[in-house]
A = this chain, B = another copy of it.
Amino acid sequence: MSVLVIGSVAIDTIETPFGKAKNILGGSAVYFSLACSFFNKVKLVAVIGEDLKKSDYALLHRKNIHLEGLKIAKGKTLNWHGKYFNDLNYRETLKLDLGVFSDYEPVIPSEYNDCNYVFLANIDPKHQSKVLNSINSYKIAAADTMDHWIKNRRKSVISLIKKIDILILNDSEARLISKEANLFSASRWIQKKGPKVVVIKKGEHGVLLVHGNKFFGAPAYPLEKTFDPTGAGDAFAGGFMGYLSQCSKITHKNLRLATIYGQVMGSFCVEEFGVKKLLNLSKKDINSRVRELRKFSVF
């Protein structure tokens, strides 16, 4: 049992009202993998340039993340420079250099063929579909997407979601793709296209999980300070898929717990710059926060 993730590895420069971090390790596949690694083996598929620091590479290796699918290409690693404003809900991309990511087509190494769980992080939906088709056998496929693809590659996004079991997206994206203002109606619209499970992230308002005709409202962990929101969605997905992949069965109860573990990983992620907090966590910290979240929402 292991989890395969296809996404980006990046070098980020992040500015928030609380400070600035220059050229730090980032990217959807990195946040996902680090969060997921607390629960299961992770097999990463991504591309980097020749400029990624050896220490970053070693860091992923140390965390039980398989790197046979991490291609090193001639050129520069994806480079993103973003700035968050006062309420942290709005960010601006100051610089984006796709580097070796711009003409990358993911290839699954043969060593990865035992993966039961596949997560297609947010990349071009055409590549997400193509790479999913190239995987011989898997049990569950989940994907993330974003407003950019929904607006500009709508057909490809819909063609992708027909093939997957779980779609993870945020509330504005769910409304955008379904053209429904109500999130329950939006999730039914998505389910009709394919995925039995729809996970709608609502930031500080928690998560709505829709599984068949069952709903679950997961609270957000009560955080008084968000330090850096970068990667929170991918850390959520990593916790969600990681927890689910080590369950013997996909029951509604397990999906609820997976959502909670996802929430917890996302809440840790935003407490420090980049992946820093995810590197300094223990399983005990994670389980303790799950208990806190239960206390916060029980009645």
Chain A residues proximal to chain B, CB less than 8 Å: 86-89, 181-185, 202, 204-206, 215-220, 222-226, 253, 256-257, 259-260, 294, 296-299
Contacts and interface: CB of A to CB of B under 8 A. Distances in A.
B182 A216 contact: no
A217 B297 contact: yes
Given A202-B205, A215-B222, A222-B215, A181 B296 contact: no
Nearest to A87: B181
Contact of A217 (B89, B260, B296): B296
Contacts of A226: 182
Contacts of A86: 181
B296 A216 contact: yes
A40 to B, nearest CB: 20
Given A206-B205, A206-B217, A219-B217, A182 B225 contact: yes
Nearest to A188: B224
A218 B181 contact: no
B206 A299 contact: no
Contacts of A88: 181
Nearest to A210: B222
Oligomer: number of copies: 2
A224 B185 contact: yes
Contacts of A215: 222, 296
Contact of A299 (B87, B220, B225, B294): B294
A184 B217 contact: no
20 contacts: A86-B181, A88-B181, A182-B224, A182-B226, A184-B223, A202-B205, A205-B206, A206-B217, A206-B219, A215-B222, A216-B296, A216-B299, A217-B219, A217-B220, A217-B296, A217-B297, A219-B297, A253-B299, A257-B299, A294-B299
The 5 closest A-B pairs by CB, nearest first: A205-B205, A217-B219, A87-B181, A256-B299, A184-B224
Contacts of A216: 296-297, 299
Nearest to A216: B296
Interface centre among A185, A215, A217, A218 (most CB of B within 10 A): A217
A260 to B, nearest CB: 5
Contacts of A257: 299
A188 to B, nearest CB: 8
Given A217-B219, A256-B298, 19 more contacts: A87-B181, A89-B181, A182-B224, A182-B226, A183-B204, A205-B205, A205-B206, A206-B217, A215-B222, A215-B296, A216-B296, A216-B299, A217-B222, A218-B297, A218-B299, A219-B219, A260-B299, A297-B297, A298-B298
Contacts of A224: 182, 184-185
A215 B299 CA distance: 12
A143 B297 CA distance: 24
A289 to B, nearest CB: 13
